Structure 1
Amino acid sequence: MQLWPWRGAVSCSVLVVAGLLALPGGAAQAFDLFGLFGTNDKPPAASPKALPYVLTFDISGDRKAVEQPLKDASQLYRLRQEAPLEGDSLVRRAQADFGPMLDALWGTGYYNATLSYEIGGAALTIGGSPSAASRAAEAYRAREPVPVRVVVNTGPLFTLRRIEVDDARTGRSFPQQELPSRIVGLNPGDPARAADLRAARARMVDYFRSQSRPLAKAASTEPVVYHPAQAMDITYTIDPGPVAPFGEIGVSGTESVDPAVVRSFIYLEPGDPYSPKALADTRKSVGTIQALGSVRIREAEALDAHGRLPVFVEVTERKPRVVGFSARYSTVDGPALHGYWEHRNLFGGAERLRLESDLFLAPRNDGTRLKRVQDLEPSDIGGRFSASFIKPALSGSRNDLLLDALVERNRTGGDRYGGYTTRFVNGTAFIRHRFSETFSMQAGTQLQKGQTSDVLGKIDYFLVGLPASLMYDSTDRPLDPTRGARVNATVTPYPSFLGSTVGMTVGKVEASAYYALDDDARYVLAGRIGLGSVLGADLDEIPANFRFFAGGGGSVRGYRYRSLGPQGPFGYVVGGRSLLEASLEARIKITDTIGVVPFLDAGNAFESSYPDFGEELRVSAGLGLRYYTAIGPIRLDIAAPLNARPGDKPVSLYVSIGQAF
């Protein structure tokens, strides 16, 4: 969505360490968006009834590695805005931190670290008397916050010396062919950090589970720290468990939804090889049922009598009815109203009925703009009403019924690029077959009756189509894919012998692919290509809403929406019989929440039925900013045309939720 064009430049320790390995990772750090919300480091004001304090960390050694883990472990740090009532309480709060903060230091690989406090200038050490520190704190009552200093000396970083991974079945080390060293991922000389050791243990268990061994587990983890040598030896004992397939698959939690519908979205069958990925795909597939709110997959703890692993799919249902309303305003499109009503389980089979309507200002094709309410004419009002119905899992099968109806009156353009007016009513009926959670095909019928008008003339038409399409989606995330591919291809013949007034065939295919350069998907290459073609009719015979246009936020960024294509009288863009679009992005995460995306777009629409590479492709380049949230990235893209036409804006800005493709 293009919100506004922007003109101008945009320029011995065995038991303790073992306990550390059993702990989860440190607490997550809150992100202060661009530092706009300030911090809470200022202590409460001094008071006769309490002892506020100022906490500082005096760290000798590797401050960068240990400061945040120490803060995460410290109750004194977390409660710094809650002043204790007396000196004894402040000292007890500090004493309670000794164990967790030492654990944090050891967890980062500093097993010879020392830790003490200075409270009001008085020392507080592990096992030392708290009296002096308590009296020193009381001396600050009603005067000023008590200065509290955490004194840390990290000492040397301990490293791994010997790494052994034993098979719980035989007591011997795993050979390389059974457990590759790249899976263990630890080498002598590596830092002896607890987080790295836990990650290695998880990798080994996950590896065996991926080899169809569902009961794989870590039987024991035995780290031994040698303080004089500043080294650690660690021995893992892994039980890979037996190879086993999936067993019976149960569905529970349904109340008003037919369980057979849920089962139709589960593509696992008893006897299939066990796979963690198959379970993740099942959760994703079942989660597409609109009537369900959550999906949990639970594995049995033991194999059944046939040596198979039973799986239980546990679901919860959502409230069946939902209604929504929104109002928006765009500096390009003006005001608009949107409303919808939806029932997610109409007849008890997860049938979804959705009624949706839009009311908006339609841009004027002559380029004039509405400046006053008094200038409003009935033709300036555009509207759209749609109804859609989905009946999933017909008779418990993997076939779905899809019915859609749409009535629309709209105008496009409204500037020097021209545009068209369209009025139509459309109805479609499809049967979709789901081959798997990633691949489906559908076919059906379409009826559309309407009228379009532009500089090429007015066309009254009636079309009877036989659309067929296929969809493939192996991506990992709908709004922020990092791996996999998407393909959406549609072809619709409108033959004259069925009654169509324009005999033509319309086809379009769009494909995108995503490749993560690293395991954490912080660097992702993404590419997209789109092709379209209309066969069997001349350009001026084709209704304007069936022609192809390029340009805009979902096409070639940097060019105005639907401004690219063949030109007719007065230089107005009238659309083409073919389309070519391509995009390439490098998605780079700078932090867990902030990323940048340099991109390149190219495309155009052509008068011929196939892309004419003799004509110039319009190319743009830009840079995007991403703010990653739990639901998906917030996208801000700035794009500039590289081969601009006279009148094209030098820079355009786009804002939306989700990646560009």
Structure 2
Amino acid sequence: MVLLVGLLSGGVFIPHAVAFDFFGLFGRDETPPPPNADTLPYSLDFAVAGRDRKIVQILKDVSTLQSLKNDPPPDADALVRRAEADLPRLNDALWGAGYYNARIAITVAGVPLTLQALRPEAATRAATFYRSRALVPIQVAVDPGAQFVLRNVTVLDARTGRPFLPNELPPRIARIGPGDAARAADIVAAQARIVDHFRAQSRPFAKVTEQNPVVVHPAHVMDISLTVDPGPQAGIGEITVRGAENVDPAVVRSFIYTDPGDPYSPAELASMRKSILSIEALSSVRIREGEMLDAYGNLPLFIDITERQPRVIGASVQYSTTDGPAVRAYWAHRNLFGGAERLRLEGSLFYLTENGGRLDDDDEFDWDDLGGRFRASFLKPALWGTRNDFLAEALVERERTEGYTSRLVNATAGIRHRFSETFSIQGGIEYEKGQASDVLGQVDYTLVGLPLSVTYDSTDNTLDPTRGMKLLASVTPYPDFLGSSVPMTVARGTASAYWSIDDESRYVLAGRLGLGSIVGAELEEIPANRRFFAGGGGSVRGFGYRSLSPTFLGEPIGGRSLLEASLEARIKVTDTIGIVPFVDAGTAFESSFPDFDETIRVSAGLGLRYYTGIGPIRLDIATPLRRDRGDDRSFAIYVGIGQAF
């Protein structure tokens, strides 16, 4: 047996091999510059014995010759130095993949270079001959040999020198064992999982103190021994907020739901960071751990925050073949008085005709088809340093759908209490005065209500959730003794769940269920804009916006209850491209609870996702599985940012 040190032995060779270009699956190589008098461009060929495409890609990923192929050196001496620098890189890459008997030669203009025999002068002379004549031919020839496997894997406790018992370190944690490929990346990943296992047991100083790999070349095996110090168990100590220049640190602390003395865990720190980042005035949060425990055995934490620019302005344009075009602009101040108060002013314009936003050749623009919305909202988080937030909003709106036209003024104010990062409850008061008209007639109304809502959100990402659940339930009574002209109670609930099939979240199943109910008033007494409708983006895609409901004289009139459901399979084809087959279903019902007298409408479609650092850009194409007579819509297209739900 020999320790894993030193250079591999072997001579110059040119194996029987075939080079691969992967048929463009991993991106085609760009053509190098043509021969010229100023630089020395070259052609590059990877020849691997056994025709293993994975090894070719491993070599290309670390090769300087490959990455700088389109940036040729000025002379032959620089070209040979570039090739020489590649030899240890390629060797390390093959060792990391478990090929400890690999042999490598880089041939420059017919002159071979190896780790054991460098001939830079000869290679330089040979390459100089090609200046202004042809590309310098360079070949990377590799005989990887057999891939080594693990024979013995031992994890020792640094405190006792003995192996950990299965109840202390379950074998499933390391995920490596006898017979597995002896890849360096797998061994490093196993070390990280072992450390994470002990850190999750409130041991913040867990670390691998020693690793002893022993390679047995004749047998093509490796024995590996890891020594791990779990470290002491600890709680969370004093939390210090740093970097707050214009934002009150008390606001930041109100979004921390951990108290000193609580058990330490990386998951708790990740939850803490996510919660603090929900403060719109902050752009980044970094949690630093203390280097030693305090006198009580707790670990001090230091939270470094970076603030955003306080003012932001933006605009967007969207279009759906069923919902019509819309434009939106907004202005916001994210730290109005120094307590992370947010003031947001937003205006929208949208256009909808009887054909769902489409103008036929003989149609003319009609101002009556134009809708608009102006909204002003204010958020004061952490009232007096508590977990209570004050929210207020004012809204002026004119809406035009296929079923009704409405105009209204609405104002709400409320208090939200955050029990944790995932759970909150909100209550307040609402006032609305408006007018709505449809085929059933016109309703002038006043509503004064007491909205109450509960929110639970354990998802891992707002725009692209892959794990967790999201629940929102609300109920708002509008009693006549408060001044409501239509005494009724409106209840609504939405639940969505996300399940990542694999660890990398390349395959995610997502489902959504929505329910709604109005009790206390007859259908024709309820303003049309307050009734339930389904259809359109965010509901049942493929159907017109708010077009699914009971009808009268062929026009949708809305219902007193609602049922919606969606199911998506989110599949990443590459790191940036994904496809999403989906099915939506739903409709509104005349009764206060779904009685299924109305036909549940179903649509299906396929979405395309382009994943960016902000979130996925979404393109969905949906079609009804069964259309009503006279409905000429065959499909609908939706474009937006973020997943559909």
**Structure 1 residue 613: Cα displacement:** 2.7
Give the deviation of 1:494 after TM superposition: 0.3
* 1:300-342 Cα shifts (integer Å, max 9, x gaps): 1211111101111110111111222345566556654422211
Give the alignment of 1:305-324 within 5 angstroms: 305-324=295-314
How big is each residue's C-alpha offset from its partner over 1:142-199, in whole Å with a ceiling of 9 and x where there is no partner?
1111111100111101000110000111111001010000001111010001111111
- Give, in angstroms, the shift of residue 363 of structure 1: 3.2
- The structural deviation recorded for 1:364 is 5.4
Is contact 1:76–1:97 with CA below 8 Å preserved after alignment? Answer: yes
How far has the Cα of 1:606 moved from its partner? 0.3
Separation of aligned partners in 2, 1:409 and 1:16: 77
1:85 positional shift: 1.9
2:523 aligned with 1:536:
no
Map 1:79-158 onto structure 2 (within 5 A).
79-126=68-115, 127-158=117-148
| Ranges in structure 2 where 5+ consecutive residues have no aligned partner | 8-22
Tell me how far 1:593 sits from its aligned partner: 2.6
Distance in 2 of aligned mates of 1:101 and 1:515: 39
How far is the alpha carbon of 1:622 from its aligned partner? 2.7
Provide the rounded CA distance (Å) in 2 between the counterparts of 1:535 and 1:191. 65
Q: Please report how far the alpha carbon of residue 596 of structure 1 lies from its aligned counterpart in structure 2 after TM superposition.
A: 2.8
Shift, 1:382, TM fit: 2.4
Cα deviation 1:181-240 (Å, max 9, x = unaligned): 000111101000111111100000001111111111111222111111111111111111
Asked if 1:51 is matched to 2:40, the reply is: yes
Residue in structure 2 matched with residue 177 of structure 1 by the alignment: 167
- Once the two structures are superposed, the pairs formed by residues 643-654 of structure 1 within 5 Å of their partners are 643-648=626-631, 649-654=633-638
Which residue of structure 2 aligns with residue 599 of structure 1? 582
Whole-angstrom CA distance in 2 between matches of 1:362 and 1:623: 25
Q: Distance in 1 between matches of 2:349 and 2:231?
A: 61
Deviation (angstroms), 1:40 = 5.2
**Which residue does 1:295 correspond to in 2?**
285
Q: Distance in 2 between matches of 1:69 and 1:39?
A: 16
**Alpha-carbon distance between aligned partners in 2 of 1:547 and 1:381, rounded to the nearest angstrom:** 21
Asked if structure 2 preserves the Cα contact closer than 8 Å seen for 1:333 and 1:363, the reply is no
Deviations 1:556-614 (A, max 9, x none): 22222212110012x10111000001112222333333333332222110000000134
Of residues 206, 209, 216 in structure 2, which corresponds to 1:216? Answer: 206
CA distance, structure 2, for counterparts of residue 397 and residue 435 of structure 1: 11
Equivalent residue of 1:540, what SS? helix
Q: How far does the alpha carbon of each residue in 1:72-114 deviate from its partner, in whole angstroms, 9 at most, with x for none? A: 2111111111221221211111001111110001111111111
Residue of structure 2 equivalent to 1:410: 399
1:504 pairs with one of 479, 488, 495: 488
- Deviates further, 36-45 or 294-303: 36-45
Q: Give the 3-state SS of the residue equivalent to 1:47 in structure 2.
A: coil
- Contact 1:473 / 1:487 at 8 angstroms: preserved in 2? yes
Unpaired stretches in structure 1, ≥5 consecutive residues: 1-11, 18-33, 414-418
1:5: which partner in 2?
A: none
Match of 1:631 in 2: 614
Give the deviation of 1:625 after TM superposition. 2.8
Structure 2 counterpart SS, 1:174: coil
Equivalents in 2 of 1:13, 1:657: separation in Å? Answer: 54
Question: Normalized against structure 1, the TM-score is what?
Answer: 0.91
Asked if the contact 1:530–1:582 (Cα under 8 Å) also holds between the matched residues in 2, the reply is yes
Q: Is the 8 A contact 2:32 2:69 kept in 1?
A: yes
TM-score, scaled relative to structure 2 = 0.93
1:233 aligns with 2:216: no
> 1:9 matched to which residue of 2?
none
Q: How far is the alpha carbon of 1:630 from its aligned partner? A: 2.1
Q: Partner letter of residue 341 of structure 2?
A: E
CA contact (8 A) 2:319 2:638 kept: no
- 1:387 equivalent in structure 2: 376
State the secondary structure of the residue aligned to 2:101: coil
Where 1:91 maps in the other structure, the secondary structure is: helix
Q: Distance in 1 between matches of 2:179 and 2:634?
A: 54
Task: Tell me if structure 2 keeps the 8 A contact 1:487–1:509.
Answer: yes
In 2, Cα distance between the equivalents of 1:580 and 1:483? 24
Name the CA distance, whole Å, in 2 between partners of 1:486 and 1:517.
18
Structure 1 CA distance for aligned equivalents of residues 588 and 159 of structure 2:
65
Indicate whether 1:68 and 2:57 are aligned.
Answer: yes
Corresponding residue to 2:471 among 465, 487, 500: 487
Rounded Cα–Cα distance in structure 2 between residues aligned with 1:155 and 1:73: 19
Report the CA distance between 1:441 and its aligned residue. 0.4
The Cα of 1:366 is off from its aligned counterpart by 11
Q: Matched residue of 1:156: which SS?
A: coil
> How far off its partner does 1:626 sit?
2.6
Q: Work out the CA distance in 2 between the residues paired with 1:330 and 1:516.
A: 29
Deviates more, 1:338-347 or 1:400-409: 338-347
Maintained 8 Å contact 2:318/2:639:
no
- Aligned-pair identity in percent equals 61
Q: Could you tell me how far 1:514 is from its partner in structure 2?
A: 1.3
Shift of 1:16: 6.9
Contact 1:564 1:604 in 2 (8 A): yes
Q: Choose 493-502 or 83-92, whichever is displaced more.
A: 83-92
2:16 is matched with which residue? none
Deviations 1:495-551 (A, max 9, x none): 011110000000100001112222222222221110000000011100111111111
Say whether 1:199 aligns with 2:182: no
Cα shift at 1:640: 2.8
Contact 2:370 2:400 in 1 (8 A): no
Asked whether the 8 Å contact 2:435–2:445 carries over to 1, the reply is: yes
Alpha-carbon distance in structure 1 between the residues aligned to 2:590 and 2:221: 72
Write the distance in 2 (CA, Å) between the matches of 1:188 and 1:526. Answer: 38
**Kept after mapping to 2: 8 A contact 1:450/1:461:** yes
Residue 510 of structure 1 aligns to a residue in which SS? strand
* 3-state SS, counterpart of residue 93 of structure 2: helix
Cα distance, 1:441–1:526 mapped onto 2, change above 3 Å: same
**Alignment map for 1:340-379 (pairs within 5 Å):** 340-363=330-353, 369=359, 376-379=365-368
1:365/1:412 contact within 8 Å kept: no
Q: Which amino acid aligns with 2:34?
A: A
Relative contact order: is structure 1 or structure 2 higher (C-alpha 8 Å, sep ≥ 6)? 1
Q: How does 1:416-427 map to 2 (within 5 A)?
A: 419-427=403-411
2:343 maps to a residue whose letter is L
- Aligned to 2:269, what secondary structure does the other structure show? helix
Matched, 1:249 2:250: no
Confirm whether residue 437 of structure 1 aligns to residue 449 of structure 2.
Answer: no
Corresponding residue number in structure 2 for 1:397 = 386
Instruction: Check conservation: 1:264, 1:396, Cα contact below 8 A.
Output: yes
- 1:583 pairs, out of 536, 542, 566, with 566
CA distance in structure 2 between the aligned counterparts of 1:222 and 1:65, rounded to whole angstroms:
27
Alpha-carbon separation, structure 2, partners of 1:220 and 1:156: 27
Contact 2:543/2:624, CA 8 A, preserved across alignment: yes
Q: Structure 1 residues 360 and 371, CA, compared in 2 at 3 Å: closer, same or farther? A: farther
Equivalent residue in structure 1 for 2:551, among 555, 567, 582: 567
Amino acid at match of 2:461: R
* In structure 1, distance between residues paired with 2:323 and 2:512: 27
Give the superposition deviation at 1:135.
1.5
